[in-house]
Structure 1
Amino acid sequence: MLVVLDLLGVAVFAASGALAAVHARLDVFGVVVLAAVTALGGGIVRDVLLGITPPSTLRQWPYLVVPAVVALLVSRWHPAVARLRRGVQLADALGLALFVTTGTAVALGTGAPAITSALVGVITGIGGGVLRDVLLNEVPTVLCREIYALAAAAGAVVVVAGDAVGLPQLPVTLAAAGLVAGLRVLALWRRWNVPAP
């Protein structure tokens, strides 16, 4: 079940990367590359930071096929996908929640300290989007608007705190994922942004 949810998160992040690539007028190869980087970038950075080599997503073929298929579908039917903006944003919030909480749990499972595990969890969630924006020569969205990284950090802290006091991992992970997704959806609904100077 966890693999299915993980692949769903990969698909959603791939769609977001593919839509950004279409908007930037990249060719089909560029759309596939940007979709894969957005979907897998955070997990690859996580694994490299934790010394898991080769990264787990590069060892299992579904993690490479799903972003490619999603990218090709988006490049073919991008006007229809773009109209589903709210649905994509909701799915993105769920993908963020899943990636942050599993990334933090993976880091804790390798014996990384709590602060390191929380930071690795946040990087897992936001890393692909940051890489996407950098490749498109844009300031990463998480640095200039929207409550995205803060929601990720809140979820990572809940996972780390639950582990520190010895709570069962599954309920803590689900609660943390609910917090991340809830904060993200609430911020989108209320149009909250982090204050700028």
Structure 2
Amino acid sequence: MLTDLFSPSVQHLLDLAGIFVFAMSGALLAVRKNFDVFGMAVLAEVTALGGGVLRDLIIGAVPPAAFTDLGYFLTPLAAALIVVFLHPEVERITKAVGVFDAAGLGLFCVSGTVKAYGHGLGLTFAATLGMATAVGGGVLRDILAHEVPSLLRWDRDLYAVPAMVGAALAAVLLRFDALDGPTAAIPVVVAFVLRLLAMKYHWRAPRAWHRRSAAREAP
């Protein structure tokens, strides 16, 4: 379990940090979509907590952690409040927010894998659910904002793949009983670095071979 890898206080702080940056990305999209304050708060909450809630419901960890820890609920609201008043400044540091988002991606894909495995899932399914933990909130965010999920768009830098790699590495370490506090940093860092490289060099997944469709993605 996670408490075997990190102390509860450290794990809680890491979770809150990841939740905060995911919530900020949701609130920023709400601003771009001209949502009101309530819409911003909803999008922040869904982006930050959606993946974790999905994971907990699937593995039967109910009620989900998002509904038992007040900090998990209030942190996205704090991020939304910051964006309400400071969104021009936040927009100017979008790259910095992207770096923190990549860090949250790395953390959540590993923590999700470990929690799913601790609740009895096999390694393959634990890794799949770990990836879903990291990207699920973003998918729900885009659906609520009437966007094609970034996860499915060919013209977006790789996002799910780094999470998939990090979750798979965590599963391999679990398989050989080698996952502890120090080694857990390996898949986190790998997913983080892959996401940063994808952002820097605009790495994208290939499309269908000999694709004939002339359809183009909306901006």
| TM-score band w.r.t. shorter chain | over 0.9
**Matched position secondary structure for 1:38:** helix
Partner in structure 2 of residue 193 of structure 1: 204
Counterpart CA distance in 2 for 1:129 and 1:75 is 20
Residue 60 of structure 2 is aligned to residue 48 of structure 1? no
Counterpart CA distance in 1 for 2:96 and 2:130 is 24
Partner in structure 2 of residue 178 of structure 1: 189
Asked whether the 8 Å contact 2:51–2:133 carries over to 1, the reply is yes
1:10, distance to aligned residue in structure 2 (A): 0.4
Counterpart CA distance in 2 for 1:26 and 1:168 is 43
Amino acid at match of 1:10: I
Partner in structure 1 of residue 110 of structure 2: 101
Please tell me the root mean square deviation across aligned C-alpha atoms, in Å. Answer: 0.9
**Matched position secondary structure for 1:112:** coil
Amino acid at match of 2:182: P
Counterpart CA distance in 2 for 1:143 and 1:168 is 31
What TM-score, normalized by structure 2, do the two folds share? 0.88
Counterpart CA distance in 1 for 2:68 and 2:179 is 29
Q: Which region of structure 1 is more displaced relative to structure 2, 171-180 or 81-90? A: 171-180
Amino acid at match of 1:157: A
1:170, distance to aligned residue in structure 2 (A): 2.1
Could you say which structure has the larger radius of gyration? 2
Asked whether the 8 Å contact 1:101–1:121 carries over to 2, the reply is yes
Q: Give unmatched runs, 5+ long, in structure 2.
A: 1-9, 209-219
- Write the mapping of 1:138-153 to structure 2, written as runs, cut at 5 A: 138-144=147-153, 145-153=156-164
> Runs ≥4 in structure 1, deviation > 3 angstroms?
none
Residue 15 of structure 2 is aligned to residue 6 of structure 1? yes
Q: Deviations over 1:154-184 (max 9, x none)?
A: 0010011111111132233210000000000
* Identity within the alignment, %: 41
Partner in structure 2 of residue 38 of structure 1: 47
Q: Give unmatched runs, 5+ long, in structure 1.
A: none
Asked whether the 8 Å contact 1:158–1:172 carries over to 2, the reply is no
Asked whether the 8 Å contact 2:170–2:179 carries over to 1, the reply is no
Say how many residue pairs are matched.
197
**Matched position secondary structure for 2:120:** coil
What TM-score, normalized by structure 1, do the two folds share? 0.98
Partner in structure 1 of residue 77 of structure 2: 68
Partner in structure 1 of residue 130 of structure 2: 121
Higher share in helix:
1
